[in-house]
Each structure stands twice: as structure tokens, then as C-alpha cells.
Structure 1
Amino acid sequence: MRAAQFREFGGPEVLTIVDLPDPHPGPGQVRIVVRAVGISATDTKVRAGTVSFGAELPQTTGRDVAGVVDEVGEGVTDVTVGDRVFGISDDGAAAAELALLTFRAVIPRSLGFVDAAGLPVALETATRVIDQLGVTGGTTLFVNGASGGIGSTAVQLAVARGARVIGAAGAANQNYLRLLGAQPVTYGDGMVDRVRALAPEGVDVAFDVAGNGILPELVGLAGDARNVVTIADVEGAREHGVHFSNGFVDGHGFRSLADVGELIEAGRFWLPVDRTFPLERIAEAHRASENAHVRGRLALVLG
């Protein structure tokens, strides 16, 4: 099968398309014919060498994926050959013609492969964090970095729980956040004052997606470091006593893959795919992910 791979850490140019042996599912796994692959920030950080999951070089890439089941492993009862599914690629190897999945769900009927492929990592991460923050009806949540894939997802999941959400994004994405159900504020000097203009007593909890060095301000807004979670600022979290959320340590939120279907079919959840690329242009997709202000997600399209 064709697959994207890198033999050294570095910029997007280290990605190449190679031929690899076809994988086959073990117990609990399914194999899918890949139709679309989401590009996440984790993918680009692993390729650059700034995040490591312990794998040796050369490495494959890609976690978010959607496709059609063509083989099932021992003990699999939730899906069968021919089902459309989406999920997290085992071993981070989604950017390929075939992929193995342990964590998966059937794609909601109204969703295509490209839109489904943008969801898994964002859903898992956003669900895990808003659970850690205890977001329920009546909670006021501030999301720093609300217009990207994870931020957009957190906004909508929190709104679905009955929370009030204030979200920070660039000037071009203010109306987009309103469509998602958030009260938008712009980044930059005076952002905290703009949040306090909407919530004079501060917020109950804050979720830092952007990692732009404002954890002290978020602690002030939320009243206590225990009311703030970041997924983007390891050093700041250590310095200011904020929890850095990590699915490998904290436990994952993969149940969200099945749970989101009801919201999607009810028209209460939407995560746009900003741009698509063929597999051969994966380097361009990684470059766009790193350098552009993406609304929603980026995806590779196969087949």
C-alpha cells in the first residue's frame, strides 16, 4: 500500500510517499480502506520532533481517519465489512491506503468521509478537557483558541451541555464563533478586559487551546489554577500550577466518537473542513496546518 512516511525529524519536506506492506487486523481491530485523513497539530509536532510517542524512525503519520471496513479481527462485533467508520488510527498510520483501528464508530448517516475524518482527535480532546473542567449546564467557560478544530469542538460540546461559552479567536472568526453558539472576543492586548466586559465576575473555568502564554491571565479570570486546563503550554502549566491534559495519562474520551452522532443528526454539531489535499500533497497540508489560521480542519482525500 502507499503511505506517507518520514525518515528524519524536520519540516514538511521530510514527508515522502512510500510502499509498505498491507496491514492486517489483530484481535479487536478492524482494517479500513482509507477515504479521508484529518491533519491534526499532533501530526505536525511528531513529524517535527517536538512531541514523541516513543516510535523509532522511520515513522508513518496520521491519526484521524475515515473509510470502509474491509477486514475485521477476532472478537469484533460492533462493525462489519462494508461499514463506514471513523476513528483513531493505531500506530499513527492513517495517511495510507489502509489503516487499522481499535477506537472507532460508525459514521453518522448525514456525514461524508471528509467531514468525519476531521473529528476524532478533536472530539476526544475536547470531551476529555470539558469533563475535567466539570462543564455542565450553567457553567461559564472561556476557550482560548476557539476557532480551530479542538476549540470549535469544545465550544459546541459545552453549548450542548447548557454552558455559556466565551471564545477567543482572530477578528476574521468572530461571526464563526457566534454561529457555534459562543460569545466571541478577539486576541491581543485587552483580551482579558473584553472577557470581563461579558463576564464581570470572571468565568468558572478556562480551556487553553492556543498556548500563547496567557495562563496567568486565565487563572485570574477563572479564580484558581485548578479551574484552568491547557493542552498547549507544558512549561506554563508547570510554572503556574495549571493542569496539562494528556490522554495517555488522564484517560481518554473516545466514547465521544459514538456519542456525537446524535448531536450531528440533530444539527447541533458541525466542524468544517477548511481545505483538502491528495495524499501526494501531504507536505503542503502539514505546512498549511503549521502556518495558516485554519477554521476547523484540514484533510487528505484518498480514492
Structure 2
Amino acid sequence: MKAVVIHRYGQVGDVVDVTDIPTPSPGPDEVLVKVRAAGVNPIDHLIVKGFMGAGEPPWPVVIGSEAAGVVVATGTAVTRFAVGDEVFARLDPRKGGAFAEFVGVHDSLVATKPASLSFEGAASLPLVGLTAWQALTEQATVGEGSRVLIHGGAGGVGSVAVQIAKSLGAEVIATASTDSVELVRGLGADRVIDYRTEQFDELVSDVDVVLDTVGGQAQKRSFRVLKPGGTLVSIVPIAEADARKAEWKVEARSFFMHPDGAQLTHLADLVRDGRLRPLLQNVFPLDAAADALTSVERGGARGKTVISVSS
């Protein structure tokens, strides 16, 4: 099968290669998926550079950790899925393998793809969807009447978080660049602050939860807008977290999402109900995987970048 691999760590343009490797066989608890599309994330170029691994892995490493496709074989212990099912999944990040024509995935990480979603749309959802869901429901408790500020409302995580927060009954405030204000408003945000021309901490206060997807000064200033007892949840490390928690009398947590097929099923239900739609920016062919990784590395995207693997 054709796959995107690295044989050593390094810069994307130097080490990423598209080549033929053996097609995997599913383990007892796995489904073998013919990949139709795979999502591209910042963590992928970090893996390429060796920032996410411990020691030297067995080479070659197949990149990619979220995929959508069709089940073509099942392991002996699999009962929830059958050949022909259209599915999507966030893979075990220790194994990867999504940037390939076939991938084996543990059945606990898999969910049925909503019929209304293209394979590209489904492949864009697992990492950002799970990150947003876990931030708002596990790291914080967002519900009816919560007041939530989401930084980077047009980004991969932020665009999904705006919609999930609204589905949970929250009042949603989001930050975005000038050219993304209307887009984020269209996702359901009650108020969108143009961070290029406005200072969110001069306009917002008494927030229950801040979801920080950008870090830096935005993260630091976010403590000012939280009400006492509120929660800052960040997907990047929080500088001087303990001191800031004590100073502002709030909670502050950074985290990295965990794969979960049951939560993906819940996200699929939100898609079916019309309360969640993924935001796609770019679709690259498999042979241009290095270009896709470079595009994501540059940042500033509105929505997700996806690789179209097969038809």
C-alpha cells in the first residue's frame, strides 16, 4: 500500500516520503480501514521532528493520527463493526498510521461516520472535536447558562468548541481575526471580538470558562476576565499556573486530549442533529502530504487541513 513515512527525524521537507509498504492485518480487537481521508494536525509535524517520541522507534514511521474510511476487515474479537461500515477515528498517537491507504485501529477508538459528512469532513473532526469536548466537559463543566470565552474561534479546535459550547447551552464569546469575525458568528458565537482591533479583557468580564487555544499574552490576560472560581483550560502549557491560580482565585489546567470512540459517537450525533459542522480549509492529495504538513506548520488556518487518500 502507499503510505507517508519517515525513516528518521528531521524537517518535513527533508524526511517525509511517500512510498509502498506492506498492508497491515488487523489484530483481534482492531478493524482494518481503507482510508479515504486523514486529518493533519500540528502534532504531526512535531512527530516528524522527533519532539513527541521517546527514543528511536521502529522505522519507518507512518504519520497521521485521525482518519475516515471504510472497514474492509475485522479482528476476531470485534463485534461492533462490520465490513462495509463507514467510520472515523482518532488513532492511538503512539502508533499513528493514518496517512496511508489502509490502517488498523482498535475498535474502542472508532465511531460510525455520519452519513451527512464527507470523508474529508469526518477526518477533520476527531482530534479537534475530542479536544473541544474534553476541554468543556472534563477539564471544565460547561452547561446551561455558562459564560464561555473561546480564543481562536476560527481555528480547528476553536471553531468546534464554539459549536459544542452552544450545544451545551452556554453563552459563547469568541476571539477571531478581522476576516474571520463573520465566520465565527455564523458558527453560533453570541459575540465575536476582533483581536486585531479590540482588547478582549477590556470588553469581557465574569466568565465561567476560558478555552485558550493560542497561549502567550492572550492566555496571560485571560485570568483577568474569569470570575472567582472560574476555570482556564488551555491546550498549551500555562506559565506560572500555581501563582496565577492563587492570585486570581481560579482554576487553570492545560491538557492534551485522549482518544475515545464513545465520545466520537456523541460528536457524530451532534453532526446528525445539525448542531456541529467541521470547518475545512485545505484538502491535499496523499502525494502532497509534505505540503499539507508545511501548511499546518505555518499556522493561521481557518479550520482544518485534510489529506484525501483514496476514492
Whether TM exceeds 0.5 here: the answer is yes
Cα contact 1:215–1:237 (8 A) shared by 2: no
Provide the rounded CA distance (Å) in 1 between the counterparts of 2:184 and 2:234: 20
Alignment equivalent of 1:137, drawn from 131, 144, 147: 144
Q: Could you say which residue in structure 2 is the equivalent of 1:106?
A: 112
Cα contact 1:226–1:243 (8 A) shared by 2: no
Per mean C-alpha deviation after superposition, the further-off stretch among 38-47 and 227-236 is: 227-236
Alignment equivalent of 2:134, drawn from 128, 133, 148: 128
| Unaligned ranges ≥5, structure 2 | 246-251
1:214 is paired with a residue whose SS is: helix
Aligned: 1:163 with 2:165: no
1:218-239 per-residue CA deviation (whole Å, 9 max, x = no partner) reads: 1121145861011123556577
Residues 168-247 of structure 1: pairs in structure 2 closer than 5 A: 168-182=175-189, 183-188=191-196, 190-196=198-204, 201-223=205-227, 227-233=231-237, 235=239, 237=241, 240-241=244-245, 242-247=252-257
Provide the rounded CA distance (Å) in 2 between the counterparts of 1:239 and 1:39: 35
**CA positional deviation for 1:256:** 2.3
**CA positional deviation for 1:187:** 2.1
Cα contact 1:38–1:299 (8 A) shared by 2: yes
Q: 1:212 to 1:10 in 2, by over 3 A?
A: farther
| Unaligned ranges ≥5, structure 1 | none
1:205-257 per-residue CA deviation (whole Å, 9 max, x = no partner) reads: 10111123432211121145861011123556577453111235xxx554221
Cα contact 1:208–1:231 (8 A) shared by 2: yes
Q: Which amino acid aligns with 1:31?
A: L
Q: Which amino acid aligns with 2:128?
A: A
Provide the rounded CA distance (Å) in 1 between the counterparts of 2:9 and 2:97: 16
Cα contact 1:237–1:244 (8 A) shared by 2: no
Cα contact 1:219–1:225 (8 A) shared by 2: no
Residues 49-88 of structure 1: pairs in structure 2 closer than 5 A: 49-52=50-53, 56=57, 58-88=60-90
Aligned: 1:287 with 2:294: yes
Q: Which amino acid aligns with 1:15?
A: V
**CA positional deviation for 1:47:** 1.7
Q: Which amino acid aligns with 2:212?
A: D
Q: Could you say which residue in structure 1 is the equivalent of 2:2?
A: 2
Cα contact 2:35–2:68 (8 A) shared by 1: yes
Provide the rounded CA distance (Å) in 1 between the counterparts of 2:61 and 2:131: 23
Provide the rounded CA distance (Å) in 2 between the counterparts of 1:135 and 1:110: 27
Provide the rounded CA distance (Å) in 2 between the counterparts of 1:234 and 1:244: 6
Q: Could you say which residue in structure 1 is the equivalent of 2:278?
A: 271
Alignment equivalent of 1:152, drawn from 159, 163, 167: 159
Q: Could you tell me the percent identity over the aligned residues? A: 31
Per mean C-alpha deviation after superposition, the further-off stretch among 147-156 and 253-262 is: 253-262
Q: 1:165 to 1:81 in 2, by over 3 A?
A: same
Q: Which amino acid aligns with 2:211?
A: F
**CA positional deviation for 1:185:** 0.8
Provide the rounded CA distance (Å) in 1 between the counterparts of 2:99 and 2:244: 37
2:207 is paired with a residue whose SS is: coil
Per mean C-alpha deviation after superposition, the further-off stretch among 236-245 and 226-235 is: 236-245
Provide the rounded CA distance (Å) in 1 between the counterparts of 2:186 and 2:49: 34
Q: 1:54 to 1:273 in 2, by over 3 A?
A: farther
Q: Which amino acid aligns with 1:113?
A: F
**CA positional deviation for 1:188:** 4.5
1:95-130 per-residue CA deviation (whole Å, 9 max, x = no partner) reads: 001011121111111111111110111111111110
1:5 is paired with a residue whose SS is: strand
Aligned: 1:37 with 2:38: yes
1:63-91 per-residue CA deviation (whole Å, 9 max, x = no partner) reads: 11011101101221111001111002341
Q: Which amino acid aligns with 2:222?
A: L
Provide the rounded CA distance (Å) in 1 between the counterparts of 2:196 and 2:180: 14
TM-score normalised according to structure 2 size: 0.88
Q: 1:54 to 1:33 in 2, by over 3 A?
A: farther
1:142-193 per-residue CA deviation (whole Å, 9 max, x = no partner) reads: 1111211111111111100110111111111100110111121122575234
**CA positional deviation for 1:27:** 2.2
Provide the rounded CA distance (Å) in 2 between the counterparts of 1:224 and 1:52: 38
Q: Which amino acid aligns with 1:218?
A: S
Per mean C-alpha deviation after superposition, the further-off stretch among 151-160 and 38-47 is: 38-47
Q: Could you say which residue in structure 2 is the equivalent of 1:19?
A: 20
2:26 is paired with a residue whose SS is: coil
